[in-house]
Amino acid sequence: MGAVEYRPGLEGVIATETAISYLDVDHEEIVVRGYNLLDLARQRTYVDVVGLLVNGQLPTEAERAALEQQLLAVADVPAEIWQILRLLPREMDAMDRLRTAVSALGGWDQAANSADPEQDRQSGFRVIAQSATIVANLIRVAEGGEPLLPDRRRSYPENFLWMIVGRDPDPAEVRAFDQTLIAYAEHELPNSTFAARVIASTLADLYGALTGAVASLKGRLHGGANEAVMEMLLEAGDEDGLERLIREKLARKERIMGFGHRVYMRRMDPRAQLLKETLAALVAQKGDPEGEKLVRMCQRGEDVMRAEKGLFPNLDYYAAPVYWVLGIPIELYTPIFFAARTAGLVAHVVEQHAHNRLFRPRVLYTGPRGLKP
């Protein structure tokens, strides 16, 4: 092997071509099939973004309405999936239960073993819808209750949030939740998307690729960060407490969850700015004193980290308090991340199967040689 450059964590390595999305750090823009993700979040709905990602073009109003009905029509989950989830230990991590359910879903898809891009797309819509139903009911079923089944009279985001919280959300809550789904929907090639593409590159099926993505997303260096952020905010209690906690963690050289990003090295994640605005608007609309305190806490933490480390918030830092104000249990924050990201993952599996090349990197060997048995 000739001279090669070793990049730990594959940092800066171009691993694939894609027409799905790109993080343009220089222009502080997340490009999704030609559109700025923040423009989509402010002007469109999550269902629009699903259509854009999976079908490759932004739907018209009529097409969006048809797609929303299509998703709601296939959102019911086979009864056997609930039976499987009931057999799992309650103390099992929610992402592990979700991983099991996503894998099992393939058993009720007659085309599950296909690596055909068009079949991926059709199965993908089903998984997008059913993953939301599963995520919304993870706690309810684990505690012995019956799942709250989809209500097709509601919009997709309203139905999803309604199944989670078990009450009628108001329009401002639905809009805030919808914006979080868009923010999480697609983000180029993070660990979970890379894992899905690596698995798909063997011509493994969509369900296998998505199962691997769930496993990847569980980690606190990836999807699990949003839960860690909320736990930190609750531990701190107030603005002074958060500043004190952050400074103590920094003194111990501990990682502060919700700050920094492999791509956004010295800039704020554009999605964090979006959800910062979403949080402020939601709290103002609700007139919630606890929510107002969270807004102040988050700003104090942001100020401290910028001054001390030159680091900026990532998406998880502001997604966590949005979910808290909406009344969503912390245990579901990362599963919701997956449910939202399923649209992007499906798009990547479709693209991988359409233009496939097996991923097979090499290593920089550092072990001994010449040993005799």
User: Annotated active-site positions, please?
Assistant: 261, 316
Residue with tokens 């879903």: 105
Return the closest-CA partner of residue 226 out of 134, 337, 113, 118. 337
Q: Check if the beta carbon of residue 231 is closer than 8 Å to that of residue 330.
A: yes
- Three-class secondary structure of residue 241 per DSSP: helix
| Nearest-angstrom CA–CA distance, 168 and 173 | 10
Q: How large is the C-alpha radius of gyration of the chain? A: 21
Amino acid at 215: A
Residue with tokens 């079908």: 55
Phi, psi of 252 (to 5 degrees): -90, 5
Which residues are within 8 A (CB) of 69 and not within 5 positions of it... i.e. 6 or more apart?
Answer: 152
Q: Which residues share a beta bridge with 22?
A: 31
- How far is CA 272 from each of CA 167, 183, 306, rounded to the nearest angstrom? 27, 9, 14
> What does the CA dihedral 96, 100, 105, 108 come to, rounded to 10 degrees?
-160
> What does the CA dihedral 119, 122, 127, 133 come to, rounded to 10 degrees?
-160
| Nearest-angstrom CA–CA distance, 267 and 269 | 6
Helix H or strand E segment including 29: strand 29-32
